[in-house]
Copies of this chain bind each other. A is one copy, B any other.
Amino acid sequence: MQTELSQTLGIEHAVFGFTPFPAVAAAISRAGGLGVLGAVRYTAPDELARDLDWIEAHTGGQPYGLDVVMPAKKVEGVTEAEVEAMIPEGHRAWVKDLLARFGVPELPEGERAGWRITGWMEQVARSQLDVALDHPIKLLANALGSPPADVIDRAHQRGVLVAALAGSARHALHHKEAGIDIVVAQGYEAGGHTGEIATMVLTPEVVDAVSPLPVLCAGGIGSGRQVAAALSLGAQGVWLGSVWLTTTEADLHSPALTRRLLAAGSGDTVRSRALTGKPARQLRTQWTDAWDDPSGPGPLPMPLQGLLVAEAVSRIQRYEVEPLLGTPVGQIVGRMTRERSVQAVFDDLTRGFEEALDRVNRIARRSGPS
Contact = CB atoms under 8 A, between A and B. Distances in A.
Interface of A: 1-3, 6-12, 14, 168-169, 187-189, 195-202, 204-205, 219-221, 223, 225-226, 228-234, 266-267, 294, 330-332, 334-335, 353-354, 356-357, 359-361, 363-364, 366-370
Given A231-B360, A359-B231, A225 B198 contact: no
A332 B204 CA distance: 11
B205 A221 contact: no
Nearest to A234: B225
Contacts of A228: 229, 232, 360
Given A12-B368, A357-B232, A199 B197 contact: no
Contact of A197 (B331, B353, B361): B331
B368 A198 contact: no
A204 B187 contact: no
A332 B168 CA distance: 13
B220 A201 contact: yes
A356 to B, nearest CB: 5
Contacts of A294: 294
A296 to B, nearest CB: 13
A233 B225 CA distance: 5
Nearest to A224: B232
Contact of A363 (B1, B361, B367): B1
A226 B232 CA distance: 7
Given A219-B198, A354-B364, A230 B231 contact: no
A14 B359 CA distance: 14
A201 B332 contact: yes
21 contacts: A1-B364, A2-B366, A2-B368, A3-B366, A7-B366, A188-B198, A196-B267, A197-B331, A199-B200, A200-B200, A200-B221, A201-B334, A202-B266, A204-B223, A205-B266, A205-B334, A228-B360, A231-B363, A232-B356, A233-B356, A357-B364
A2 B363 contact: yes
